[in-house]
Amino acid sequence: MKKLIILFAAIVMMAAFTTKVMAQPNSNTTSNASRAEVLSAIGLVAHNPLEFGGFTSGALGTVVMSPLGVRTFTGGVILYATSITPTAASYTVSGAPNTSYTIIVPTTDQLLVHVGNSSSMPANTFTCSYSPPASTLSQTGTDAFTIGATLNVGSSQAPGLYIGTFNITIAY
């Protein structure tokens, strides 16, 4: 009986010193930062128009204005100096400093239409002074580029002034 009392006392003592142990949850939480940067809107300003200058046509041909402002011809076209000075189209870009952007030139014919009648000449093969047509804005957020194209002249193109427009798009 003495053994039984000692055993019972040992059980009571063990129960008195036992603490509850709770299971820890199996998860962990931490925080992190989030950031965003809003860029300045990209801007495009046209300066010089694309001017093919004066010429005559006796047969099919082209007038090519390079982005560097060099005018050449093919076929039955003969170049002349007139009041329209041949120039490549020029542009300035503004936006977020050190940011890359792309230049999108027309990929379809853009018509120059005769002032006074319905004659027209298609301009195509638009080229940019940057190849590929992309660049990076400077540390001050500016850049410049030029555009050239090929004017397709008919064999008996009506004399007179021809006017047209084309769109250049830039994007970050």
Q: How many independent structural domains does the chain possess?
A: 1
Helical H segments across the chain, by residue range: 2-17
DSSP for 113-135, please give it: EETTSS-EEEEEEEEESSSSSEE
pLDDT surpassing 80 at residue 23: no
Q: Is residue 84 part of a domain?
A: yes
pLDDT at 22 over 70: no
* The pLDDT value given to residue 152: 98
Mean pLDDT computed over 99-123: 97
- Cβ–Cβ under 8 Å, residues 85 and 74: no
Q: How far apart are CA 131 and CA 127, in angstroms?
A: 8
Per-residue pLDDT tens over the stretch 41-58: 999 999 999 999 999 998
Residue 17 pLDDT class (50, 70, 90 cuts): low
Instruction: Examine residue 13 and state whether it is found in any structural domain, yes or no.
Output: no
pLDDT at 26: 85
The proportion of the chain whose per-residue pLDDT surpasses 90, expressed as a percent, equals: 79
Q: Is residue 3 part of a domain?
A: no
Lowest model confidence (mean pLDDT) among 31-35, 63-67, 143-147, 167-171? 31-35
Q: Answer whether residue 95 is part of any domain.
A: yes
Instruction: Using the predicted structure, report yes or no on whether residue 13 has a pLDDT greater than 80.
Output: no
> Residue 19 domain-assigned?
no
**What's phi and psi for 103, nearest 5 deg?**
-115, 125
State the CATH number of the domain containing residue 137.
2.60.40
Q: Is the pLDDT of residue 112 over 60?
A: yes
Any domain includes 130: yes
Assess if residue 98 is contained within a domain. yes
Closest CA to 147 of 61, 52, 57: 52
DSSP 51: B
Q: 29: alpha, beta or left, given left = phi > 0 and alpha = psi -120 to 50?
A: beta
CA distance 63 to 60: 11
- pLDDT for 138: 98
Q: What is the domain extent for residue 107?
A: 41-171
